Structure 1
Amino acid sequence: MSGLLNISDASDCFTAQTIPELYGNDFLNPDVGGLAVAMSTILLRWGDNADVQTTIIMLLTQVYPVILATATSINTRNLSLFDAHFAIVATASPVSIYLVYSSFRDFIGLPSSLFNKLTHGKKVIRLLGLTLPIIWTTINILISFSPRAFRNSPQNCQKISFVEWIQYQTLSNFVGILDIMGQRDLWNDLNGRGGLGTLALITMWIWAIYMVYHRYDIVDEMRFRRQNQIEQINDFKKKALNSGDSPKSIVVFLHHFRRAIFPLCNLVCSSWNVITSSHPWMIFAIIMFLHWSWILGLQKGMLIERYQLSYGQILSLFSVILPLASVARLLLKRREDFTDFICNLWPSFLRGLRFLVTKKNPYLGRMFTIWVVSTTADIFWIIGYVDGGSKPNPRTPVNDPHKAWKPYSISSPLFAPFAALPLAQQWQWTHFCDSFAGEVELQGVTNPFQTPLAHFHYPHAANDDVRKNLQYDYALVRNDSAAGLIQDFIYAGPFNTLAALPEVLTVSYNLADHTFSVYCLYTSSKAVPCATGSYTTSPYLSFIIHIADTDEEIRLRAQDKEWGFSNDAPSFVLKFEDAGGQLGDIDLQSAVTKRSHCEILKICASSGAPDIATLVPLGIVLMTQDEYSQYCLLPRLYSV
């Protein structure tokens, strides 16, 4: 990223952890063996004891060498930030998290189905499982907070706050793995992700039907758990009050804590136990979806076009033969179960639906009321989600400020329709600028040999307000002789006739002192200076334009302070400003980026031609869009 937006060091540090071959990172070798071992985790549920033992040992022998090699490479300048972050993500697979969870349960004396299937070495496996989160956390902290831990740490990680680190870890290490819904785009899901989001959505609906179908069993399970918890709390209260060691306030706090937390925990745990016991295939589906999403996340950071297998990688291919053979043997043994599941899926779904509609239920009225209230709330949630995601301007309560949109956009797909946002974004791309005189498509690039372009669309007929056709192209050209501090926004065609040429041919920007000069074509001879001025990008995007011939001064200012972002396209409403600082009519307004083409941003223009007030700000916006294009088009571990 360049210095146009003054992007923080924290942003560079987090970005450097997810993008290979930039920010001082190297090209990454794919972990061939690790991905194959991840496929064998089906054995943890249905495999024989010997298969489970083999899988866990294979997992540990691949996880620990990677993270120990990463830990011992700290301060040696052998690894980059991306290498270290990839090592954490690759080893913190869903099955590794399950191993940590099972080790903790076994450590505190609770039953664990995984450790029940282990035949020997339980103490060693438990110790190794409990040590994993400590190593992950330590390396994660060093990645962001140590200025010399890795080769490119001094250039990128100098000013990181604890709040920024927590936000990044939440998004990259948690949401990035569990965001199985992808881009919430049905075609993108089927074409690029193999239908993972669609299958996950169907499974969520089936889970909801199972919850209603087994509601009495779930309630009984909750009562059983609640009774045990009440007995444990009462025993603790008696001991605490009798001993006098604990103040009474702690007992009161624990009492209220139990009433607030236990019902929700009991509902989740009871639903899980009842449904997975009655329908074991749900465990297989959840494990498959989690690993599927995890592998897709790793795949974004693995560029294998130029990769050639080394001697060690060829040897590692043979290390996965045993777990993969176990998977094949398990699938062969369970083929009847899988066949029955596929054949009975649709009849089971119809039986559950018929049960919901026809079976008598004394609580039907209460359940219907809850359904109406929750559905109404969901409707407003969806409206806010679609409105904020497809109409960035004017700002809405869910995207103002801009940083509020990220957690909202991540959580909304759990409730919003699968295709609502893509359809709305496509509609906004097509029709958002219908009420404006023109529209401009700003196209950034990632290839240094290409040129950022602005495509101007205007109606051919004066009474045609909807159909806009391409009429002008402008290119953003860097002046190499000025060390990149001078950039020209130049007319690039078409050159059909002299009469068809626009009035403004070039806007030249001096990035050092934030000034610009405009050159116009008043006669058929040559372009002459016609305007000068200055601009600011902070705290507001603003422009002061002095027209040479008339001594007129044009002032423009963005409505909101936020307009350019390191991880998103420019978003603004640029208005005319009077001498008193009051904003007036709209000059330019950003719409949305094109679906599946983050490098193309549409801008609505109030002017019916590429005049000075339109071209001057668009050049700066195109520079910012080009920076974002370089960010969004690069392969990364997770799009956060």
Structure 2
Amino acid sequence: MNGEFTLYLQPHFYHCMKNRNNFLCFYSLEFDPRHDPPNPDMDGQIVGIAAIVVHLCLLILIHFSNEPADVEECLTSLLLQCYPTLIATFASIGRGQLTLFDVHFAIAITASPVNIYITYSTLTQVIKRPNHLFRDRIVNWKRTYCMLFLLFPFVWLSLSLTSTLSTTAFIDSYYCQGATFRDWLLNNTLSYLLQSITTWWIPLLPIAVILLLLVAWINLRFRRRIVYQYKTERKKKGFWIDAPFIWWEILSECHPWLPPTLSMYLHANWVYNITSALQLASWTGYIATYGQILAVFTAVPPIFSVYRLVRDNWRNIGKFFKALPRRWKMEFFYLFTSERVFRSRCGQLGDVELYISKMYPPRPRSQEVPLLLVQIPSIELPEPLLPDALLQETVLKRYSPQPSPRASTFSMI
């Protein structure tokens, strides 16, 4: 093509492609600005920023909000943003209106970690496994949300495969001539991982290594509980596919900080990739088109939901950040000692963080002395010391051990 040539290279994956055209099919933008510029309604800067805002607001509400109405409102905004993008891309197939860059941007902006998490929660809801989203955050229209989010991965995969395997779907689809399903699979797995490492993970590589080591250590500590729970569920239902759900349930219940930390890290990587694509398409400048203005208003309800959350809990937020160092100290203490109680220097018991789920209570240790054994035993006084029956009844009531349900469940620390 004549005109300006712009190439977005990812050289670490070039050797896996058969030829240069297959490489351009996945990683390039070649266009003549007079004839086929990027579509601002698909990959404009306002569209990308609005999508980032909606996804991040939904992430905050899922983790911290106790109002199901706010989460449902934000989920609706997410659906109103993702489905029109995919449907509009499908409608433009074979019409010569979109480039491969437009399609790849639409695919990337709808494949966020929060979308993957919602799809995972939908699958757990379908197979009747407990999950945080549908148990605590969604009250109304559960079946509707399940149907829409179950359909979403099929629509996304169809569009991604069409953009790779078709040579006539879009303006520059001739680059994809000879591309195979193997190329598509490598591009969406190995290449994406390598791209993330070379573009974003290098500055945060120590944090990534620490997170992986912590997950491995937690998995090693709870291996017996995971195997026991898996065998129990297997006998009841007979589903081997429950193993990853059981593993994640136990880890997230025993260490509640793990899901928010991993999700924020993955979203940071996703935001970086989207902003890189927006910088690549910013040659057109600021064009406030009709589609971009509509994209702005889809982000308004999630912003108001987060604003209400901060307004109603600003004091609790301050207390949370003030107590954060001590909470991390207690969590570190529990991570390596399996103790939820943190003792002060004077030997007094500090605050007890009740993180363990009711479903998976800790087992009592046999070395500890039960409370029943350290109670004052009953005293048998001789008859001459008791002046009357009333005094005898009073003394026996005061010194006799009373049966208590706490004696069989709690132990002395």
- Do they fold alike, i.e. is TM over 0.5? yes
Deviation at 1:92, TM superposition (A): 1.3
Other-structure match for 2:62? 44
Task: Report SS of the residue matched to 1:300.
Answer: helix
- In the other structure, the counterpart of 1:620 is none
1:71 aligns with 2:90: yes
- Rate the CA distance shift 1:349–1:6 in 2: closer, same or farther, 3 A: closer
Conservation of the 8 A alpha-carbon contact between 2:25 and 2:164: no
Distance 1:342 1:208 in 2: 24
Map 1:489-568 onto structure 2 (within 5 A).
none
2:29 touches 2:100 (CA, 8 Å); kept in 1? no
1:175 aligns with 2:189: no
Q: How does 1:428-507 map to 2 (within 5 A)?
A: none
Question: Cα gap change, 1:203/1:338 in structure 2, threshold over 3 Å: closer, same or farther?
Answer: farther
Quick one: distance in 2 between partners of 1:107 and 1:354?
Answer: 37
Cα pair distance change 1:205/1:342, threshold 3 Å: farther
1:340 to 310, 323, 331: 323
Q: 1:404-442: per-residue Cα shift (whole Å, max 9, x none)?
A: xxxxxxxxxxxxxxxxxxxxxxxxxxxxxxxxxxxxxxx
Listed as ranges, the gaps of 5+ residues in structure 1 are 190-195, 237-257, 357-640
CA contact (8 A) 2:229 2:246 kept: no
Aligned counterpart for 2:27 among listed residues 18, 43, 48:
18
Contact kept, 8 Å, 2:100 with 2:170, in 1: the verdict is yes
- Between the aligned partners of 1:348 and 1:22, the Cα distance in structure 2 is 53
The residue that corresponds to 1:153 in the other structure is: 173
Task: Tell me the residue number matched to 1:226.
Answer: 231
Between the aligned partners of 1:175 and 1:39, the Cα distance in structure 2 is 22
Q: Contact between 2:21 and 2:177, CA under 8 Å: does it hold in 1?
A: no
Specify the code of the residue in structure 2 equivalent to 1:95: V
Q: Per-residue CA shift, 1:375-428, capped at 9, x if unaligned?
A: xxxxxxxxxxxxxxxxxxxxxxxxxxxxxxxxxxxxxxxxxxxxxxxxxxxxxx
Whether the aligned pair in 2 keeps the contact of 1:12 and 1:157 (CA below 8 Å) is: yes
Q: Does residue 32 of structure 1 match 2:49?
A: yes
Q: Which has the higher contact order (CA 8 A, sep 6+)?
A: 2
Q: Does 1:136 find its partner at 2:151? A: no
Determine the C-alpha separation between the residues in 1 that align with 2:276 and 2:288.
22
- In structure 2, the CA distance between the partners of 1:73 and 1:168, relative to structure 1 (3 Å rule), is same
Aligned 1:605-616 pairs, distance under 5 A: none
| SS at structure 1 position matched to 2:270 | helix
The C-alpha deviation readout for 1:194-250, integer Å capped at 9, x for no partner, is: xx44443333344445456xx2x55234212213314545xx9xxxxxxxxxxxxxx
What's the CA shift for 1:62?
0.2
Q: Structure 2 CA distance, aligned partners of 1:276 and 1:283? A: 6
The Cα offsets for residues 562-608 of structure 1, whole Å up to 9 and x where unpaired, read as xxxxxxxxxxxxxxxxxxxxxxxxxxxxxxxxxxxxxxxxxxxxxxx
Q: Is 1:292 paired with 2:268?
A: yes
Contact map agreement 1:181 1:197 (CA 8 A) in 2: no
Identify the match of residue 203 of structure 1 among 199, 211, 214.
Answer: 211
Post-superposition offset of 1:327: 2.5
- Higher alpha-carbon deviation: 120-129 or 338-347: 338-347
* Paired letter, 1:323: P
Structure 1 position 23, deviation (Å): 9.1
Contact 1:147 1:158 in 2 (8 A): yes
> Is the 1:222–1:270 contact (alpha carbons within 8 Å) kept by the matching residues of 2?
no
Closer/same/farther in 2, CA of residues 318 and 349 from structure 1, 3 Å limit: same
Equivalent position SS for 1:301 = helix
- Per-residue deviation, 1:100: 1.9
Distance 1:279-1:44 versus aligned 2 partners, 3 A rule: same
Tell me the percent identity.
Answer: 26
Partner of 2:301: 322
The amino acid across from 1:162 in the alignment is F
Question: Per-residue deviation at 1:272?
Answer: 2.8
Q: 1:308 & 1:279 partners in 2: Cα distance? A: 45
Q: Summarize the Cα distance change of 1:162–1:349 in structure 2 as closer, same or farther, 3 Å threshold.
A: same
- Report the CA distance shift for 1:140/1:78 in structure 2 as closer, same or farther (over 3 A): same
For residues 14 and 301 of structure 1, what CA distance do their matches in structure 2 show? 17
- The match for 2:252 among 271, 276, 290 is 276
1:16·1:22 contact (CA, 8 Å) conserved in 2? no
| Equivalences, count | 310
Contact 1:10 1:160 in 2 (8 A): no
Report the TM-score when normalising by structure 1. Answer: 0.43
Deviation at 1:66? 0.3
2:119 pairs with one of 78, 100, 103: 100
Larger helix proportion of the pair: 2
Within 5 Å, give how 1:379-418 maps onto structure 2: none
- Which amino acid in 1 is paired with 2:327? N
* One-letter identity of the residue aligned with 1:61: L
